[in-house]
Amino acid sequence: MLFICIVLIYERYNAWLQLDLGGKDEKGQHPVTQYHQNYGFKLDKAVEKLPVSDFEGMDQKDLLLYSLKKGNQHQVGLEGKEGKFLLEANPKYKTLNVFDETGKRLKTDELAPTQKQQADESKKKTRSQNRQTGMKV
């Protein structure tokens, strides 16, 4: 007799799950879409693109990332904006959704400073530092 032993090793991996409530499959269940860790959505990079003002330490950022990974909406403050905002992860489009206090969705590209604005601010800082030291630009 010949015995073949097949050992299945299950490795744990992280994935985002999205339940499609708009339709059902042949078994009457809502289809589930998975976005696994190799899909390319980097939550920490997406959060860094926004001007979140509530980070007083790594603990605050870790709490925000943990909350978003669990699928929660997390309340934050944004630099240069009045009031509180809600963030939620959107792995399908590799972005974050931002909502104001009334629940209205905001465009994230309007909230984050553009590269041109960042370059202009950098130039202004350099000029002011050079003026203080007496150097010419």
The pLDDT value given to residue 119: 46
Phi and psi at 54, nearest 5°, equal -90, 5
- Among 12-21, 46-55, 96-105, 114-123, the range of highest mean pLDDT: 96-105
Task: Tally the C-alpha atoms within 13 A of residue 34's C-alpha that lie toward its C-beta.
Answer: 6
Encode pLDDT of 41-55 as tens digits: 899 999 988 888 877
Q: Which of 8-12, 32-36, 96-100 is the least confident region?
A: 8-12
Given a contact cutoff of 8 angstroms between Cβ atoms, the answer to whether 79 and 51 are in contact is yes
